[in-house]
Structure 1
Amino acid sequence: MEKVFRCPGRHGYAVEVSPFIPHRVACAASQHYGIAGCGALLVLDETESGVAVVQSWQWADGLFDVTWSEANEHVVVAGGGDGSLQLWDTANRGAPLRVAKEHTQEVYSVDWSQTRGENLVVSGSWDQTAKVWDPSLSHSLTTLRGHEGVIYSTVWSPHIPGCFASASGDGTLRIWDVKSAACRLAVPAHRAEILSCDWCKYDQNIVATGSVDCSVCVWDLRNVKQPISTLLGHAYAVRRVKFSPFSEATLASCSYDFTVRFWDYRRNRPLETVEHHSEFVCGFDFNLHNPGQVVDCSWDETVKIYTPACLSVGSHNRAS
């Protein structure tokens, strides 16, 4: 059963399921499609009857991404159009715990590290830099430069400490080593802007990219001359890509064509297309606690929690 939360006047940019609380979701949203106006950070709980607001905050500028702390179940970080990162506490209805404003343009991506033994946040900005932060956001630990376009996506490797991937308007996917503050690999992945990247949860060498050219490409970082898989079907820009935490070959993408698509990238084939939004679909996440359940958000002012047929228990299509 699909559950829908409506947030009038707020257009969804990103959703992420809590790593601690199975039914909890954070959503970053903006007024006026993020072009002008303020933003909203919503913390939502799935209930038996629907979706309820646990906490919501307004911000003076649009909010474009959100990430949960991997160390504290109450803490989230959001990235804003004013160049700020905000550290919020869901148990505190007031102002953010901290606001860090070092970026000079929109912060379009934030991600909290997942490997054991480190606790870091990475941000990607339209100022063409990525910054790595301590979890209190007291100050950035390092600033990484190399992209020649805006950075749309920054994602930590779930396997390799101190390593993250970034995707940019310059058409490259880059792999960074934080300790040496260096770009280890630059892949000319698309001939158009890349809006999203993600790491495979099962293989440290596999990364996916989603582009304005409507394609999703899957790369083996050991040989980047050409993608190991090119997934075609979206009619407009691919806004976000996410690998399944439960099925090694399953990948999801959402797009400006109003759809969410599920793929078996190993067999290079589509599994399912979900068409339940009436505007750009910008945010997507798998629920780590609930195999098969996913959440997405759209510019049509809704957040939707559902289980697509291809991921449901007993599905014959499930990629292995």
Structure 2
Amino acid sequence: MSAAPGGGAQTLRTPGRHGYAVEFSPYLPGRLACASSQYYGIAGCGTLIVLEQNEAGIGHFRSFDWNDGLFDVTWSENNEHVLITCSGDGSLQLWDTAEATGPLQVFKEHTQEVYSIDWSQTRGEQLVVSGSWDQTAKLWDPAVGKSLCTFRGHEGVIYSTIWSPHIPGCFASTSGDQTLRVWDVKTSGVKIVIPAHQAEILSCDWCKYNENLLVTGAVDCSLRGWDLRNIRQPVFELLGHTYAIRRVKFSPFHASLLASCSYDFTVRFWNFSKPDPLLETVEHHTEFTCGLDLSLHSPTQVADCAWDETVKIYTPACLMNPP
């Protein structure tokens, strides 16, 4: 793997590995993880690639192989060395970057591909949620060897499961059944069902500044904002992508700023409070752009990954002088 600066972006090549997800460490400013798969995730194995930034660019810190494609990754919120990936064989893997060995634990309960994994960010709980093509979401405590609860209700594959950063025990999910759902782990049931798009919904995220605001990204190329207090229609709609939106992330630093990546090879930055919300379009990949994250440590730093076998870290112009 080689790192090369180019076009303002630091690039790490991942030969033979197609990127599905990337996430900055919540603890170490220069560290990030990428979940990747061989053969576009259709066959072959997967690799968790842990990267480190230094003066020379992005360096390869450690990698871990799994015998099926890896589709998502989440860092532990209570141990800077630990992360969890999820894969095409229906399992979750718990890794320790301080140990150059196989997974600490493997959790295998889902019956189909696990496409989404997220570690709770609210204080006082160490819970992980996974979403699968078996139409279920599962709740895990990494210290317990089996799932704590299974959430049923979606009528299509689950593509995204994201914890609320505000409300303990609350997460959202999106699905091929065209709905956004909000769940409460205390009741193990769905709280809210929103028919958010007339298309499969591949991604969602919670606003870091408003506990009632979520955004969805769908195969219909649109992003829609939802206020949980009034779900009859979206509070905003963002148009511009030309193929399915694969991932969407709210900014940790700006209340009305978000980013999205798409199968149209682009990453777009938006300010949904403006009459002309599209701030910038970044076109530096040559394949489906699947992974996207905004740094928790730097207001200007973004990472993404794509099926073109690269991970990129960069500063888009619109974040240099944010709204």
TM-score normalised per structure 1: 0.97
Which secondary structure state, in structure 1, belongs to the residue aligned with residue 40 of structure 2? Answer: helix
Among 34, 40, 45, the residue aligned to 1:38: 45
Among 120, 126, 130, the residue aligned to 2:133: 126
Q: RMSD of aligned C-alpha atoms?
A: 0.7
Alignment-mate amino acid for residue 276 of structure 1: H
Shift of 1:267: 1.9
- How far apart in 1 are the matches of 2:130 and 2:142? 12
Q: Deviations over 1:21-72 (max 9, x none)?
A: 0000000000110011110000000111121111101110000000000000
2:5 alignment partner in structure 1: none
Shift of 1:135: 2.2
Alignment-mate amino acid for residue 99 of structure 1: V
- How far apart in 2 are the matches of 1:272 and 1:138? 44
Among 277, 283, 288, the residue aligned to 1:280: 288
Q: Is the 8 A contact 1:243 1:250 kept in 2?
A: yes
1:195-274 residue pairs with structure 2 within 5 A? 195-267=202-274, 269-274=277-282
Answer with 198-207 or 260-269: which moved more. Answer: 260-269
Q: Deviations over 1:266-285 (max 9, x none)?
A: 22510000000000000000
1:192 aligns with 2:192: no
- How far apart in 2 are the matches of 1:178 and 1:216? 27
Which secondary structure state, in structure 2, belongs to the residue aligned with residue 164 of structure 1? Answer: strand
Shift of 1:9: 0.6
- How far apart in 2 are the matches of 1:219 and 1:252? 16
Which secondary structure state, in structure 2, belongs to the residue aligned with residue 116 of structure 1? Answer: coil
- How far apart in 1 are the matches of 2:143 and 2:102? 15
1:1-320 residue pairs with structure 2 within 5 A? 1-136=8-143, 138-267=145-274, 269-312=277-320, 315=321, 318-319=322-323
Q: Deviations over 1:151-172 (max 9, x none)?
A: 0000000000000000000000
Shift of 1:136: 2.7
Q: Is the 8 A contact 1:98 1:137 kept in 2?
A: no
Shift of 1:213: 0.3
Structure 1 stretches of 4+ moved >4 Å: none
Which secondary structure state, in structure 2, belongs to the residue aligned with residue 140 of structure 1? Answer: coil
Which secondary structure state, in structure 2, belongs to the residue aligned with residue 311 of structure 1? Answer: helix
- How far apart in 2 are the matches of 1:56 and 1:134? 24
- How far apart in 2 are the matches of 1:177 and 1:131? 12
Q: Is the 8 A contact 1:210 1:241 kept in 2?
A: yes
TM-score normalised per structure 2: 0.97
- How far apart in 1 are the matches of 2:245 and 2:215? 12
Which secondary structure state, in structure 2, belongs to the residue aligned with residue 147 of structure 1? Answer: coil
- How far apart in 1 are the matches of 2:243 and 2:296? 28
Q: Is the 8 A contact 1:87 1:136 kept in 2?
A: no
- Structure 1 gap ranges (5+): none
Identity over the aligned pairs, expressed in percent? 68
